[in-house]
Amino acid sequence: MSDTAQPLETAVVGGGVAGLYCAWRLSQQADPSPGAIAVFEHTNRSGGRLWSEALDQEQAIPAELGGMFFSDAQDLVYRLCDQVLGLNHQAVTPANDFAWVRGKRFMIQDFDQPGVLPYRLREDEQGLAEHELSMLCIRRIVPDIDQYWPLNPNATMSDTVRFLRSSSFDGRPLHDWGFWNLMARVISNEARICLEDLEGTYAMYSNWNGLEAVFSLLCDLTGRWFRLPEGYQQLPDLLREQARAAGVRIHLQSELLAVSAPDHDGYRTLTFGGDRPSIKARRVVLALPTGALQMLDIDASDAFLSAIDACTRVPACKLFMVFDQAWWEQLPDGPGSIEVGHFAASHTDLPMRQCYYLGTDPGTGRALLLGAFGDGRSVSFWPALLDHKQKRAVGVRPIPAVMRDELIRQLSEIHDYPVPAPTDAVFVDWTQPPFWAGWHSWKPGIKSWQAAACLRGSEQDPGLHVCGEAYSAWQGWVEGALTSAEMLLTDQLGLAQPDWLADSECLAPYQPSHVAN
Ligand SMILES: Cc1cc2nc3c(=O)[nH]c(=O)nc-3n(C[C@H](O)[C@H](O)[C@H](O)COP(=O)(O)OP(=O)(O)OC[C@H]3O[C@@H](n4cnc5c(N)ncnc54)[C@H](O)[C@@H]3O)c2cc1C
């Protein structure tokens, strides 16, 4: 423990991808004298919400308990993996999705066909593909949106950001609206429920910040999808190892409890739980989600403390199963055999919400299924099936028989097939501490670019900085965690923007100056 007794130049708290990216960038550019930078992580592993587990020793495909995919439209994460770290990545294409909603099964590709959808859509909402229905909603909220990125390939993301910040609906700025409030004005309730059911997310269509919701749907329109075949956790693992090699100390099982005001030399004191001694640091980077920040005793301005509450915590859970063989390959209406580089998913209004067929180990024939992937209100269904002593755990393995049987019951219903028992299963509930949420959403009424700037750092709170997915422009994505960290590094900590990002617009949504006149 004595190695942390010396005052630090920079203490990074949170060993998720945002914190490790900060430590890695600082170690590459700043003076990495031994002991200048340290990372403090609460749990006994780094990576946070990137957590890749081999459920079976011979299982070729890791179970991605947290983040799974990234896109080449997500400039920072894509370039970091592709150009900078040279991580082996594989394009993935969704194939052959089907849905089971309101007791009816159909292929998603038939969404626009007459009589297929079990929803009473208005006449002008019928005959559209799924993404066209959500675009109908966006175009009615912001009618000029086709002139802007990404719909207009000649426009820039900065123009879109300026446009959305100056846009109003019915005389109120977009950011003041809740997205559900907006949808209620422009599409039928049946159309909203249809999108909610079939896109697999309750959170996206809930009442979060109207401006951020529109921006998020626009971002989803572009890019090709990728995964790291050896697991997304490879990214934070490599950042950690390179930072460590450059002199950064990584301390696991170090739960931060409090951050003091700066002393007369400008150093803040960090107090930890357990037997870790407190330390002093000139700069404190809190790369933490909202719930973790809310638990801390931080001596900071009222503006800083109230900006922490600008986000809502979105529940999320996953339940993976391993089977002796890929039973879904035999089904007449099923996804068939999943080739490398593809995945298929099914969508339902049952509590399991989505399942992803992730393929078969060529050696053993064992197959991996993400059997339930839920967010928002679907999440509370599952933890109630845990044994009492398992209820505070993030990951549970093995799962109780009652939970296993319930998922098998739902899988059998949606596939109309008696799904066999799995050989293994794991349940992950991201609403548990120290994560408190799967991801986050800006509340209606918040100007995200102002709240994020306040938390990033200000004269009122010298040496105190927040970054990470929660306070980002791409909430729910690694891209959000990384861009918010990069913005902090260049805006507050004096680092030059790296060459490999020179022509990227990925920091545009953070610029407080991007406000139309
Ligand atoms: C189910 C699920 C699916 C997802 N799917 C995708 C996807 O497909 N693609 C994608 O890009 N993103 C996805 N995401 C989002 C992505 O995983 C996150 O955006 C990203 O990993 C967040 O990184 P972070 O560093 O901001 O936060 P975190 O990873 O949460 O890191 C914060 C760290 O702080 C630690 N901590 C908390 N409290 C304290 C304390 N008091 N003291 C010290 N340490 C503390 C935590 O243990 C944690 O390690 C998904 C997330 C979930 C949950």
Give 274-314 pLDDT, tens digit per residue. Answer: 999 999 999 999 999 999 999 999 999 999 999 999 999 99
Ligand 1 centroid distance, CA of 435 (Å): 7
**Ligand 1 atom nearest 43 alpha carbon:** 47
Ligand 1 centroid distance, CA of 53 (Å): 15
AA letter at 56 = D
Ligand 1 atom 17 nearest Cα = 67
Its sign, for the CA torsion 325, 329, 331, 333, is positive
Ligand 1 pocket: which residues have CB below 6 Å? 13-19, 40-43, 48-50, 66-70, 255-256, 287-289, 292, 316, 318, 430, 434-435, 438-439, 468-469, 476-478, 480-481
Tell me how many helices (H) and strands (E) the chain has. Answer: 13, 25
- Whole-angstrom CA distances from 4 to 1, 9, 73, 311 are 6, 11, 40, 33
Q: What is the mean pLDDT of the chain?
A: 94
Whole-number pLDDT of residue 2: 43
pTM for the model: 0.97
pLDDT(363) > 90: no
Q: Where does 160-214 show beta strands of DSSP type E?
A: 168-169, 172-173
Distance CA 61, CA 448 (A): 37
pLDDT(260) > 80: yes
The domains located in the chain, with CATH, are 2-48+233-313+440-510 (3.50.50.60), 52-95+316-429 (3.30.70.2100), 120-223 (no CATH)
Question: Residue 290 has which token pair?
Answer: 């909202």
**Ligand 1 atom nearest 317 alpha carbon:** 1
Whole-number pLDDT of residue 56: 75
Considering only CA atoms, which of 487, 481, 517, 488 is closest in space to residue 501?
Answer: 487
Give 399-427 pLDDT, tens digit per residue. Answer: 999 999 999 999 999 999 999 999 999 99
* Other C-beta atoms lying within 10 Å of the C-beta of residue 117: 25
Ligand 1 atom 41 nearest Cα = 256
C-beta of residue 311 within 8 angstroms of C-beta of residue 441: yes
AA letter at 375 = D
Distance CA 125, CA 120 (A): 10
Instruction: Look at residue 203 and give its three-state secondary structure.
Output: coil
Ligand 1 centroid distance, CA of 508 (Å): 22
Give 420-453 pLDDT, tens digit per residue. Answer: 999 999 999 999 999 999 999 999 999 999 999 9
